Amino acid sequence: MKKQLLSASIALLTFTSLSAHATTYLSAKAMVDVQTGKLVQSPLITIDNGIITSVEQNKKPVLSKGDKHIQLLELTLMPGLMDMHVHLTSDPTVPRSERLGQSVPRMAIKAAHFAKKTLEAGFTTVRNVGAEGYSVIAVRDGINAGDIVGPRIWAAGPSLGITGGHCDNNRLPPELKYTSTGVADGPWAARVKVRENIKYGANAIKFCATGGVFSKGTKVGAQQYSYEEMKAIVDEAHMRDLPVAAHAHGTSGIKTAIKAGVDSIEHASFLDDEAIALAKEHGTWLSMDIYNTEYTLTFGEQNGVDEENLNKERQVSKKQRDSFNRAVKAGVNMVFGTDAAIYPHGDNAKQFSRMVEFGMTELQAIQAATINSAKLLKMNNKLGQLKAGFAADIIALKGNPLENITELEHIPFVMKAGQVYKNDF
């Protein structure tokens, strides 16, 4: 119980603005109601201690001493965006061979740098699904303490995986006897690894259910971890009330992870009708990174990506987009997840247009990155909407994203917990 409370307090720590006391009023040309898809004209949002206390229309604030009125009269307001699949420690422009020499402190500094870029792009909440050495947990805690700038972070710690699997490091010679931090074989070993991640501050858990594109020597669709191992991971995490993400490209791994009770399937590249039906039956969220393939196939070679990995990307890209389209048509739960790190951090919003191109309406794409992601994190009464009682995580943009989703690629104003972090208007 104490650990559950600790995780909850970490997650909620930044709901209070660092510059409390005075009331902030925010007025704008319009506001997107992400539940209804309606454009609300002339909103006035009142914010106290980082929390929205009222949302009204066609009102002017009555200011007391110390109060602040931010007027964005040509802009449209939205809740801060949420990306459920990022890797803040990784830089796509650095070849993987060079990354082998990076220390955990160096990774943490990278993550701090990319966290700021991500926030400034309008993403006020992210889920970091895997990083060595608890580096992103340290960055999250630094953000919560006000030492550095960045979004709210749900951090998974080191990703769990089998020996020699996608979440292991297979790029070093055997005589070095190196094994990635998250490797655990067998149900009880996997439970121990979940407990270890929680011990060191993880407020989410991620494991690899199949091979992957960017690992060495793994088949992208082949299942890794048995049902018994996956169930042990999920049960252990759920006892501590932590959400569980399963990296799964291949069909059998997707189905097994869903049956084991995971909260979200990451990538979900090779879906068949049964997998889609299972996801609907279990209420499983799909997080499908359908933009980054373009970056990889355009810039991967010059960034030092191995031919093995480029070939796997070619195998996955069209199949994943077809799966995305079929899942949307079937009404499967969907969140916004980009795998930021495979492409440059800060470009997260470029995925929105692909989600619309491959089957979503503009509103569905926006909901994936707001109310749906908040539901996945079990924070749908605190995050993802602009209404009283919710965190004052607010972005503003020039156009109407319900008509042109690419407007989300250019965010001039960002507020998190009532504090302005970007105002280029």
272 is annotated as an active-site residue: no
User: How far is it, in rounded angstroms, from Cα 197 to Cα 191?
Assistant: 10
- Do 373 and 84 form a contact (C-beta atoms < 8 A)? yes
Q: Please give the structure tokens belonging to residue 252.
A: 């059998």
User: How far is it, in rounded angstroms, from Cα 108 to Cα 114?
Assistant: 10
Q: For residue 328, give the amino acid letter.
A: V
User: How far is it, in rounded angstroms, from Cα 307 to Cα 228?
Assistant: 34
Closest CA to 377 of 244, 216, 184: 244
Candidate list 206, 255, 312, 350, residue with the active-site label? 206
User: How far is it, in rounded angstroms, from Cα 12 to Cα 224?
Assistant: 34
Candidate list 83, 339, 347, 393, residue with the active-site label? 339
- Do 397 and 408 form a contact (C-beta atoms < 8 A)? yes
- Do 293 and 244 form a contact (C-beta atoms < 8 A)? no
User: How far is it, in rounded angstroms, from Cα 142 to Cα 146?
Assistant: 6
User: How far is it, in rounded angstroms, from Cα 82 to Cα 287?
Assistant: 12
CA angle 336, 348, 270 (to 5 degrees): 50
- SS3 track for 181-247: CCECCCHHHHHHHHHHHHHCCCCCEEEECECCCCCCCCCCCCECCCHHHHHHHHHHHHHCCCCEEEE
339 is annotated as an active-site residue: yes
Catalytic residue set: 206, 339
